[in-house]
Structures are given as structure tokens and as C-alpha cells.
Amino acid sequence: MALWWSWSTPNPRSPRAVLTRRDVLFYGETQAIDGCEVTTPARTAFDIGRRGARRLAVARLDALARATDFKADDVLGVAKCHPGSRGLRQLEAVLELVDAGAESPQESYLRLLLVEGGLPRPQTQIAVLGTDGFPIAYLDMGWLDRMVAVEYDGDQHRTDRRQYVKDIRRIEMLERMGWIIVRVVAEDRPADILRRVRAALAASSVRSLL
């Protein structure tokens, strides 16, 4: 994840391995943290959301939202103070897609794939409750009313044997409860992911009629 902050320096040349930009910062768009002046979460979101590829901007803003709980209205307020800035249309589109429930860029990309593939927007971090009413599992994303979930399996699920075994038992428990789980790995092709998720949702619809 890239780091974004602002500071002033008399040197017009960028430090090595650091990308710098010239921007106007208005009053209220910076804050002091540990004696360092940095941009506020809203101003940082404003800068991230209007630059670069949309999917990358969404993933970065997901992480920022998870860390700071910034509000889209505050970001749009910053945008109103900079009406001539580039990327404002992208910023507005990206803010509508932000979800603080994503726990990794891969989960952000997966959610975007589902939405852009025409599927209903999934809920993130779905809490599955036990008989006592307390959460026994959390699902990356899915549709609670359909009991269909999409889980992204990162490298830790394959390289950590204890995690691998735990995941198997967890999936078995969820399936016994009636959940349909679509597991996704990095090697899966987007078209195959969409096909499998659509099939799971279709199976859920048929099951609800029985």
C-alpha cells in the first residue's frame, strides 16, 4: 500500500523513490501527527480517488476507510473547494464503490469484479451467528439473504498448514448450515469466477423454492 502525506520542502527535486506532486492545500486539509504535518483522511482520499487506475484507487480507499473511517461527504466537501482539479468524475464514481470491509486489495478487486460483472453489490464481512447469537465466522463477502458467500484464499491459506486445516473445517461447518461458498484464488480467471458465483446464486434461488 502506498503512503500518502504532505510536507513542505525548499528542494524542488523529489527525494529518491518518492513521488511528489505540487498541490494547493487549504486550511483544514492538514493535521499534525507526531509533530509531522500530514493531510487529513478526507484530503488524502481526495488525492487518492482521482488518480491512477480506478480499481487501484478503490483498493487504496478501502484500506484508508478501514483505517480512518473517513466519510464520503467530507471528501466531496474537499472536492468542492478544488473545482478545477483533474479526476473529479473518477473520484465521485470511486467513492460510491468504497467499502471498509475489505481486508486486502485482492478482496477489493474481487468485489469490483462482481459488481462490474452485473451482480448485486455484496455485503462484506458477513457475521455468521451460532445458536447462542454470537458470531462463529466472518465471510469475506456475499449475500446474506441468499446464503451465498465468496471467499478469497490468499497465500497464507496454502502455506500455513494450521490455517489450511482450520479453513477446511470452517467451510464444512458453513456448508452444513446451508451456506454455498465460492472459494477464489489468484489463479482463477475473472470469467470463471463470475460463472461460478452466478451458478451459486442460481442454485440458491432454486433451493429457496423447494
149 has which bridge partners? 142, 181
Residue 70 DSSP code: -
Mean pLDDT of the region 76-102: 96
C-alpha distances out from residue 95 to 88, 109, 113, 117, 157, Å = 11, 15, 16, 19, 31
| pLDDT at site 174 | 95
Q: Helix, strand, or coil here: 109?
A: helix
Q: Is pLDDT of 17 > 90?
A: no
Mean pLDDT within 151-162: 77
| Range 8-37 average pLDDT | 80
What average pLDDT does range 177-185 have in this prediction? 96
- What is the average pLDDT score of the chain? 90
Q: Which residue has the higher pLDDT, 84 or 17?
A: 84
DSSP state, 10? S
pLDDT, position 19: 74
Mean pLDDT of 176-183: 96
Domain with CATH 3.40.960.10 in the chain: 105-209
CA-to-CA distance for 109 and 92, rounded, in angstroms? 18
Q: Is 105-209 assigned to CATH 3.40.50.1370?
A: no
How would residue 11 be classed by pLDDT, with cut points 50, 70 and 90? low
Q: Report the pLDDT averaged over residues 14-31.
A: 83
Nearest to 181 by CA among 137, 115, 135: 137
Look at residue 12 in the predicted model and tell me its pLDDT.
64
* Residue 82 to residues 10, 24, 73, Cα–Cα distance (Å): 24, 9, 15
- Which letter does DSSP use for residue 14 in this model? P
Q: What is the DSSP letter of 7?
A: -
Residue 4 has pLDDT above 60, yes or no: no
Q: 48 vs 14, which has greater pLDDT?
A: 48
